[in-house]
């Protein structure tokens, strides 16, 4: 095992050199199987290489969350504006029309609920691969807790899910969850994102922070950013804009869309940044225009 003596943190990120992606539009995944590439192409649009994932899996640890009280009402109007639905199987089966052609990223773990003081103790497998196939998942999401009590179990679960994903051609999204005692800074996210990728995650979800370019450069697979707590719409669009400019391949955004004053306009505006090269200011104008029209 490598020891940590003499292992200093990396500094040479070669930000002037674009990532090598081979003959496939998704970073680091040109040697995957046909089925996996087909699913990845449903997630990351070939035209932009990016994705807008709508995260509405919050209920799996939080119960009814503000903005998601009525999944059967709030999700459907957002479908035209997003590429991927990130949700639990319970929410999908009950509240999303099965004729949707959006890609599905299924939450594959159960974790400690919000009632626990420390939610980073980790959880366990949340579904069988067989059920994921039945639901027609394009990806599976595994929550991980680097540097927290749940680290070992969550990495074990990530590894086993990646094994199954490789067997069946389903990519795995490694989700960086930040324990209560840990700082949400570049040092932590550099460590956590790379650890998940090296354990086989095909894509990684993390938060935006300072020096994000380094984090994206050092991660050999695509990174999507979580939106985090609700911000004013213009600020959330600025965060998405900066993240994409600095190397994120899209967003996996929840509260900043479904808690927005106009969720559909916000989802549309995020898509303008992620897929169409809009600046944050242009996207905010598009948001206001759609909001004022309705």
Is 271 one of the binding residues for ligand 5RP (CB under 6 A)?
Answer: no
Helix or strand (DSSP H, E) at 241: helix 233-245
Is 57 one of the binding residues for ligand 5RP (CB under 6 A)?
Answer: yes
How many C-beta atoms surround the C-beta of residue 239 within 10 A?
23
Min separation Cβ 107 and ligand 5RP, Å? 8
Rounded CA separation 120/104 (Å)? 25
Chain-centroid distance of CA 237 in Å reads 16
Cβ 216 vs Cβ 246: under 8 Å: yes
The count of chain residues that interact with ligand 5RP, using the rule CB under 6 A, is 14
- Hey, is 280 helix, strand or coil? helix
Question: For ligand 5RP, which is the closer residue by CB, 169 or 228?
Answer: 228
Question: For ligand 5RP, which is the closer residue by CB, 143 or 193?
Answer: 143
Dihedrals φ, ψ of 268, to 5°? -60, -45
Min separation Cβ 13 and ligand 5RP, Å? 26
Is 226 one of the binding residues for ligand 5RP (CB under 6 A)?
Answer: yes
Rounded CA separation 89/96 (Å)? 10
What is the dihedral sign for C-alpha 85, 91, 94, 95? negative
Rounded CA separation 78/264 (Å)? 5
Residues with Cβ within 8 Å of residue 1, at least 6 apart in sequence? none
Dihedrals φ, ψ of 242, to 5°? -65, -40
Is 55 one of the binding residues for ligand 5RP (CB under 6 A)?
Answer: yes
Binders in 80-109 for ligand 5RP, by CB under 6 A: 86
Q: Which residues are catalytic?
A: 205
Q: Looking at 123, 227, 263, 271, which residue binds ligand 5RP (CB under 6 A)?
A: 227
Is 250 one of the binding residues for ligand 5RP (CB under 6 A)?
Answer: no
Min separation Cβ 283 and ligand 5RP, Å? 17
Is 255 one of the binding residues for ligand 5RP (CB under 6 A)?
Answer: yes
Per-residue contact string for residues 168-207; x = within reach of ligand 5RP by CB under 6 A: -------x-x------------------------------
- The residues binding ligand 5RP (CB under 6 A) are 55, 57, 86, 143, 175, 177, 226-228, 252-256
């Amino acid at each position: 095992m490598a020891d940590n003596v003499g292992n200093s943190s990396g500094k040479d990120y070669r930000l002037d050199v674009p990532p090598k992606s081979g003959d496939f539009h998704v970073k680091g995944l040109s040697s995957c199987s046909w089925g996996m590439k087909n699913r990845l192409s449903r997630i990351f649009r070939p035209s932009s290489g990016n994705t807008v994932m709508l995260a509405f899996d919050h209920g799996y640890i939080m119960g009814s969350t503000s903005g998601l009280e009525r999944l059967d009402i709030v999700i459907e109007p957002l479908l035209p504006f997003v590429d991927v639905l990130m949700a639990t199987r319970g929410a999908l089966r009950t509240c999303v029309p099965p004729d949707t052609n959006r890609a599905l990223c299924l939450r594959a773990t159960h974790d400690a609920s919000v009632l626990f003081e420390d939610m980073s103790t980790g959880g366990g497998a949340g579904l069988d691969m067989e059920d994921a196939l039945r639901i027609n998942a394009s990806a599976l999401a595994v929550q991980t807790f680097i540097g927290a009590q749940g680290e070992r179990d969550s990495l074990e679960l990530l590894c086993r899910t990646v094994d199954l994903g490789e067997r069946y051609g389903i990519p795995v999204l490694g989700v960086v969850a930040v324990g209560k005692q840990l700082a949400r800074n570049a040092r932590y996210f550099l460590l956590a994102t790379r650890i998940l990728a090296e354990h086989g995650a095909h894509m990684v979800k993390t938060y935006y922070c300072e020096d994000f370019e380094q984090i994206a450069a050092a991660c050999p697979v695509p990174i999507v950013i979580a939106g985090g707590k609700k911000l004013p719409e213009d600020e959330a669009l600025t965060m998405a804009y900066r993240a994409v400019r600095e190397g994120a391949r899209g967003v996996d955004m929840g509260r900043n869309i479904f808690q927005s004053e106009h969720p559909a306009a916000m989802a549309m505006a995020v898509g303008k940044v992620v897929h169409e090269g809009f600046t944050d200011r242009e996207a905010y104008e598009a948001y206001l225009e759609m909001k004022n029209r309705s």
